[in-house]
DNA sequence: CAGTATCCCGACGGATACTG
DNA sequence: CAGTATCCGTCGGGATACTG
């Protein structure tokens, strides 16, 4: 991100130097899509390589068939996941990442890393925040 | 639920090398929290420095007072945002990032950058995915 | 195996009105 | 200015049953 260096550039201080208002729109779009309950998890899981429907279902604990299907369809439509169906006797379908989602994968992994590092701290903060009332 | 009876291959490549099942839990916790509709946006906005309640309200287009209050309270409780109230005649309250959210900010910025770079591609993918009926 | 279809509940979150 | 309180609709998403 170019932020050039600069403490609040331009005139006075604008209402929002960090995010141009024009960007707000699709930032929300993307967040709504991958910020949902399962997308990032699935993308992270696909890092290892292609996975089948049931593989995903086993490895994303708690996901329902409905949500798995829906999420995969969304991701496929967005070009973040590739669906490959093999015409075999027991049907086989594999899902894998695309070039587009490779960059996203990197970020998702960072987010997971951050969560791993700080979830405990956050939990502590949360419980200790009670007494205020 | 543990189906301990399962193969659970342990050797070779397990069902999930990317995310150990134990981590799934708090990954979901974090995603549920910051993956909501407004948290990341607010964190990104606070990069520039402290902002007041109304500043945030202006710069997060479409957010309601209710959601702004709620989100800020959540973030404050989690230790991701600091709330500072000045006892002045017109009340003034400022919100800013904490050391904890600094690392998260970096990731959020990357995500925003990624969204900026690829939202168009994603939109195209989405529209061109229709004909499949 | 890899899904789809249907039902249904709870929460997320917007609109509005009120307060310290 | 900086919130809280209440009402209420939408819809994300789980449970269950069925299909190619």
Q: Domain of A65?
A: 20-124
The reply to whether A50 falls in a domain is: yes
Q: How many CB pairs under 8 A join A and B?
A: 160
**Residue ranges of B 72-131 with Cβ closer than 8 A to chain A:** 76-80, 100, 103-104, 107, 109-119, 121-122, 125-126, 129
The reply to whether A59 falls in a domain is: yes
Q: Is B30 on the interface with A (CB under 8 A)?
A: yes
The reply to whether A102 falls in a domain is: yes
Of B39, B103, B72, B25, give the one whose Cα is nearest residue A118.
Answer: B103
The reply to whether B4 falls in a domain is: no
More confident residue, A54 or B32: A54
pLDDT at position B18 over 80: no
Q: Which long-range contacts (CB under 8 A, 24 or more apart) does B8-12 make?
A: none
Residue A129, pLDDT score: 65
Total domain count, chain A: 1
Mean pLDDT of all residues belonging to chain A: 84
Q: How confident is the model at residue A127 (pLDDT cuts 50, 70, 90)?
A: confident
How far apart are the C-alpha atoms of B79 and A117, rounded to whole Å? 14
The CATH number of whichever domain residue A63 belongs to comes to 1.10.10.10
C-beta atoms of B125 and A77 within 8 A: yes
Percent residues over pLDDT 90 in chain B:
62
The reply to whether B104 falls in a domain is: yes
Helix B99-128 / helix A99-128 crossing angle, nearest 10 deg: 140
Helix B21-34 / helix A99-128 crossing angle, nearest 10 deg: 80
C-beta atoms of B27 and A80 within 8 A: no
Mean pLDDT, to the nearest integer, of B92-120?
Answer: 94
DSSP reduced 3-state for A106: helix
Contact call for residues B52 and B93 (beta carbons, < 8 A): yes
- Phi, psi for A50 (deg, rounded to 5): -55, 145
The reply to whether B3 falls in a domain is: no
Q: Is B93 left (phi over 0), alpha (psi -120 to 50) or beta?
A: beta
The reply to whether B130 falls in a domain is: no
B2: closest chain A residue by CA: A61
Mean pLDDT of all residues belonging to chain B: 84
Cβ of B73 near strand D (distance < 7 A): yes
The reply to whether B101 falls in a domain is: yes
């Amino acid at each position: 991100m170019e932020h050039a260096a600069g403490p609040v550039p331009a005139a006075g201080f604008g209402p929002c130097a960090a995010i141009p208002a024009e960007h707000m729109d699709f930032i929300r779009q993307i967040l709504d899509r991958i910020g949902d309950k399962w997308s990032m998890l699935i993308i992270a899981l696909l890092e290892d390589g292609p996975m089948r429907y049931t593989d995903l279902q086993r490895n994303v604990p708690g996901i329902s068939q409905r949500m798995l299907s829906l999420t995969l369809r969304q991701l496929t439509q967005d070009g973040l996941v590739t669906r490959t169906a093999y015409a075999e006797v027991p049907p086989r379908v594999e899902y894998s990442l695309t070039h587009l989602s490779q960059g996203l994968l990197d970020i998702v992994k960072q987010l997971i890393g951050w969560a791993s590092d700080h979830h405990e701290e956050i939990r502590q903060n949360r419980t200790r925040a009670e007494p205020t009332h």
